[in-house]
Amino acid sequence: MTLDRIIDDIEPADQKIMQQAREHTSRLVMPHRALGELHLIAERVCGIQRTLEPSVNSKAVLVMAGDHGIAVQGVSAYPQEVTGEMVRTFVRGGAGINVLARHAGTRVLVVDIGIIPDVSDLAGEIAAGTGHFQGENVLIVNKVAKGTMDFTIGPAMTREQAEQSITAGYNVAGDLFEQGVELLGTGDMGIGNTSPSSAIGAVIMGHPVERMTGRGTGVDDEGFGRKCQAIQKGIAVNAPDSEDPVDVLSKLGGFEIGGICGAILAAACFKRPVVIDGLISTAGALLAHAMCPVVAGYMFAGHRSVEQGHQLMLEHMGIRPILDLGMRLGEGTGAALAMPIIEAGVRVFLEVLTFEQAGVSKG
């Protein structure tokens, strides 16, 4: 399916169903909207799924992994080899996202959408004749290329590769939705990927690079200066068109950012809620939003990262974070942590009695 066709198929969340859900909430046996944001979460899920009997029991987190040419500019506190090493750790179930996903009762699927090393030996099997991904932690190899180019000297990727990364993310997420996943989380892995994410935010929203850029993996003052200079140079060298999200992705982005963008577009197409994570996931969301603003109605922000550009991105899309815990790990950890809260809101909506059912005077 072409990107234009994907965007054409997206419809806004159903406001009529959301209003009906609000009316139901007003009848629950408690003071009016006494559980605050939990009510709004449940009502939004109703509007997204087009039902007053919402379900988010089947959950998955997609961790998109890609390497970045910009890493050679010293923008990260960690060497580039860590990307592939962490992918192996995800599949073993030993990373932060694996622990929090187990806590949330969700599966983790890692997509090699553009890392440098070959990790195909770890790729998960798909049950014969079913198309279903098997196992708790699965690696899917859908490599666009072995890392992007250094965007300080030219485009990070070709336009065709940018579109390919978006389509790859759409297809993987779409397969999960067709298999019954009701709530999707997005995550990332890629040494150096806060730089392209900050660059995308600076161009799409028109903010100064210094305002959009944070410390990433924890670079010192000197490293932060190099990072800002590299991003500024990349924008100047490539002159991305802020009105063309695919152009911005191709010149400054990463394959995993494109994949996250595609997964978010798939959520909107399949009418499923998607929980975005921190800066990198939200850069993908920002691109999807620039292509089709109504996708914001399908997104929940799992948390607010300490990366300063993250909150600016969320404000631009009109999305409020569920959690604020001083996190900056990525991997989908904020999305996984927020999933039980979304489930709680849905359960309140479905299981709390109304005043009439409980026989309690409303006053």
Dihedral angle computed from the Cα positions of residues 136, 142, 144 and 149, in that order, rounded to the nearest 10 degrees = 30
If DSSP codes are grouped into helix, strand and coil, which group holds residue 294? helix
Task: Tell me the C-alpha distance between 324 and 199, whole Å.
Answer: 24
What residues form DSSP beta bridges with 321?
301
**Gyration radius (Cα) of the chain, Å:** 20
Alpha-carbon torsion (345, 138, 245, 227), positive or negative: positive
Kindly provide the b/e burial profile for residues 238-276, where b requires at least 16 CB atoms within 10 angstroms of the residue's own CB: bebeeeebbbbbbbbbbbbbbbbbbbbbbbbbbbbbbbb
Residue 359 identity: G
d(CA 362, CA 359): 9
Token look-up 């139901």 returns: 24
List alpha helices for the chain, DSSP H. Answer: 3-8, 15-25, 37-49, 82-92, 96-104, 159-178, 194-205, 209-212, 221-238, 245-252, 255-270, 279-291, 308-317, 333-351, 355-358
Q: Are 231 and 202 in contact (CB under 8 A)?
A: yes
Residues assigned a catalytic role: 331
